[in-house]
């Protein structure tokens, strides 16, 4: 069974979710009101007037009927607080006094969360915090600090701002930090994993950062995870970042995000993404305290997911030259799949030769705020770029625009934004919107995470809008997720789970896994199952089923419905297995155990099946 990325045992996640109440996790962040057995609120993930965000204490699961956000207490901390999976687990574990077990890097160890899991991460975090104190001390006391101080003054930075962003100084020399932290008992291997020192061929180490102004990078939880260093005077590279390691990944972290969120009592209405450390600090000097910077890399999907967990509008600020527009287009491609209803993205292109630092110093904060307010919306940037690349007057040009625009629109999630992209594409291409929809469907991108073509809410893929009756396997999984304890009473025949596992129906092996787990631990919740399959291909499907309320509220009726569905599945599996054993018997290849099984299945087939209340013949509407 799929664990939590192979790094934290699923048994620990089960135990953690059993001790944590999702209502207690969400309520300090979102105002909940009890309605019946569930709790309702306005969704924290999209703008709405009528509450559609539901939290189930029974399932330990939340779901928004508006934007379809859903998940467990772990998911909520990841989405709302912008934490990584491991960080969210650690925060919940701390709430209930549990210690997260370390099991090595595991199957997912190659990823940023997994690297170095076998070592003591607390030691890495401690080394980075000690390094931050060391750099700050050098900026105050080192004999060569004057050059660093003069550089910061020349950029117009106050001492108060330098303290707020914890700026420091890495002195010249090869082993100042390595010696200082080594004398304090830090092992060289820990310093190397922290990205603070580099190993020589002979096995000794030297400081990675030398003669640089230092910018500590804190994650959303406030822990130092890395550094950026700006060289003083001439030299290359101008900026040097920590290397990726067990606690730092430049494609995931944003400089200044911790300062933005810590300094506000509420979520910012807008965040602006710039390209450099000094841009963030300079904007803050002028009172623009909602800027963050990527760390020498293009904006990634992880970056944008974090940003949209904190705000509804993201403004990307780039130079107006060709390189800036190329970077903006890459950001657009990353942003499109995240443009759910209520989210906004815009692009601000500064005059050639200007960056946010120089712009705000020469023109002032008000001019920069005005420029942000008039930034180009994502859709305008998309179509202006396509129109600039192809001539809309010619048939060939319009064809190229329509084809490219349809492929880009397919990357956006279903909703009002994608509908508007389709309408605009049809208008520019002088074609019917149905033609654009056909291109959209054929692009291969208008599919859900399970690879199934997305269907409109009306037709369900059938003529006349007829809804397809859910399969028995889907009905069983849906009921089981709503009430895992059902498995205890329903699995009452010898070999029942094994037979269902062999059944030649989509999802049958998954149902068997869930039945086996629920039979062994009837206290599991829907949240436990969703977390067990977080990294499994079935995870999104389980999450959707867990979010769907069941129409049968009465416990006894639900139990009867589940028993009936399971009986029908068992009967299909019994007949299938019986046929297989019969074919094998004809060749005389049955062993003693298979002969016993064959006789048992034949005997069961001769008995009249008991019909549970609610009837195994009655299907559940999904």
Per residue in 206-230, pLDDT (tens digit) is 999 999 999 999 988 889 999 999 9
Provide the pLDDT for residue 329.
Answer: 95
Provide the pLDDT for residue 616.
Answer: 36
Most confidently modeled of 32-41, 114-123, 335-344?
32-41
Q: Which residue has the tokens 């106050």?
A: 158
CA dist., res. 538 & res. 2, Å (int): 10
Residue 458 has pLDDT above 70, yes or no: no
Residue 433 has pLDDT above 90, yes or no: no
- Parallel/antiparallel/unpaired status of strands 61-64 and 70-71: antiparallel
Convert 213-225 to b/e letters by CB count within 10 Å (16 or more is b): bbbbbbbbbebbb
Confidence of residue 551 (pLDDT cuts 50, 70, 90): low
Residue 256 has pLDDT above 90, yes or no: yes
Cα-Cα-Cα-Cα torsion 273, 275, 281, 286, nearest 10 degrees, comes to -60
Provide the pLDDT for residue 296.
Answer: 82
List of domains in the chain: 10-95 (3.90.580.10), 121-241 (3.90.980.10), 257-374 (3.40.1360.10), 390-447 (no CATH), 472-606 (1.10.860.10)
Provide the pLDDT for residue 341.
Answer: 64
pTM: 0.64
Per residue in 501-538, pLDDT (tens digit) is 878 788 888 888 888 888 888 778 888 888 888 878 78
Residue 110 has pLDDT above 80, yes or no: no
Peptide bond into 537 cis (omega under 30): no
Provide the pLDDT for residue 471.
Answer: 80
Mean pLDDT of 239-250: 91
Per residue in 38-60, pLDDT (tens digit) is 999 999 888 788 899 999 998 89
Q: What is residue 93's three-state secondary structure?
A: helix
63, 70 Cβ separation under 8 angstroms: yes
Number of CB atoms found within 10 A of residue 152's CB? 21
Alpha carbon distances (Å) from 263 to 2, 165, 257, 258, 290: 39, 12, 10, 8, 10
Confidence of residue 171 (pLDDT cuts 50, 70, 90): very high
Mean pLDDT of the chain: 82
Confidence of residue 465 (pLDDT cuts 50, 70, 90): very low
Provide the pLDDT for residue 451.
Answer: 34
Per residue in 437-451, pLDDT (tens digit) is 888 876 544 433 333
φ/ψ of 373, rounded to 5, equals -65, -30
């Amino acid at each position: 069974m799929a664990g939590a990325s192979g790094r934290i045992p699923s048994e620990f996640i089960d135990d953690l979710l059993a001790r944590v109440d999702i209502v207690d996790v969400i309520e300090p962040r979102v105002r909940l009101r009890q309605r019946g057995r569930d709790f309702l609120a306005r969704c924290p993930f999209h703008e709405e007037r009528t509450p559609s965000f539901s939290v189930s204490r029974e399932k330990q699961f939340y779901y928004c009927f508006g934007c379809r956000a859903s998940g467990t207490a772990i998911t909520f901390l990841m989405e709302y607080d912008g934490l990584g999976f491991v960080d969210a687990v650690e925060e919940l574990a701390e709430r209930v006094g549990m210690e997260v077990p370390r099991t090595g890097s595991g199957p997912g160890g190659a990823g940023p969360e997994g690297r170095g899991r076998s070592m003591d991460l607390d030691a890495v975090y401690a080394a980075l915090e000690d390094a931050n104190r060391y750099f700050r001390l050098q900026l105050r006391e080192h004999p060569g600090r004057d050059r660093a101080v003069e550089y910061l003054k020349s950029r117009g930075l106050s001492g108060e701002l330098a303290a707020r962003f914890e700026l420091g100084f890495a002195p010249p020399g090869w082993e100042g930090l390595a010696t200082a932290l080594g004398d304090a008992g830090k092992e060289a291997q820990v310093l190397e994993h922290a990205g603070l020192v580099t190993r020589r061929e002979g096995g000794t180490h030297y400081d990675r950062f030398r003669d640089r102004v230092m910018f500590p990078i804190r994650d959303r939880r406030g822990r130092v995870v890395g550094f950026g260093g700006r060289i003083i005077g001439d030299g290359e590279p101008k900026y040097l970042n920590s290397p990726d390691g067990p606690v730092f990944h430049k494609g995931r972290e944003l400089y200044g995000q911790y300062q933005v969120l810590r300094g506000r009592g509420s979520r910012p209405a807008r965040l602006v993404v710039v390209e450099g450390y000094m841009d963030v600090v300079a904007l803050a000097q002028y009172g623009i305290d909602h800027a963050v910077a990527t760390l020498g890399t293009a904006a990634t999907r992880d970056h944008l997911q974090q940003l949209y967990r904190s705000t509804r509008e993201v403004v990307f600020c780039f130079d107006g030259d060709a390189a800036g527009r190329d970077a903006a287009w890459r950001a657009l491609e990353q942003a499109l799949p995240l443009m759910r209803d209520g989210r906004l993205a815009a692009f601000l292109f500064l005059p050639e030769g200007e960056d946010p630092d120089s712009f705000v110093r020469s023109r002032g904060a008000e001019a920069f705020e005005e420029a942000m307010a008039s930034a180009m919306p994502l859709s305008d940037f998309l179509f202006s770029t396509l129109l600039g690349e192809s001539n809309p007057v010619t048939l060939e040009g319009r064809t190229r625009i329509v084809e490219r625009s349809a492929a880009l629109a397919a990357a956006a999630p279903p909703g009002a934004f994608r509908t508007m992209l389709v309408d605009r594409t049809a208008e520019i291409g002088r074609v019917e919107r149905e033609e654009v929809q056909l291109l959209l469907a054929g692009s291969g991108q208008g599919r859900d995470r399970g690879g199934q073509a997305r269907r409109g809410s009306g037709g369900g893929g059938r003529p006349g809008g007829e809804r397809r009756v859910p399969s028995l396997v889907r009905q069983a999984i849906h009921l089981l997720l709503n009430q895992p304890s059902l498995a205890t009473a329903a699995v009452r025949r010898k070999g029942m789970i094994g037979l269902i596992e062999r059944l030649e129906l989509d999802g049958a092996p998954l149902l068997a896994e869930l039945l086996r787990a629920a039979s062994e631990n009837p206290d599991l919740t829907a949240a436990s199952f969703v977390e067990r399959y977080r990294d499994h291909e079935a995870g999104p499907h389980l999450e959707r089923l867990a979010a769907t309320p069941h129409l049968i509220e009465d416990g006894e009726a639900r139990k009867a419905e589940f028993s009936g569905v399971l009986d029908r599945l068992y009967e299909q599996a019994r007949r299938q297995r019986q046929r297989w054993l019969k074919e094998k018997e004809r060749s005389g290849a049955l062993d003693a155990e298979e002969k016993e099984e064959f006789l048992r299945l034949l005997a069961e087939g001769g008995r009249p099946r008991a019909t549970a209340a609610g009837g195994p013949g009655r299907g559940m509407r999904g």
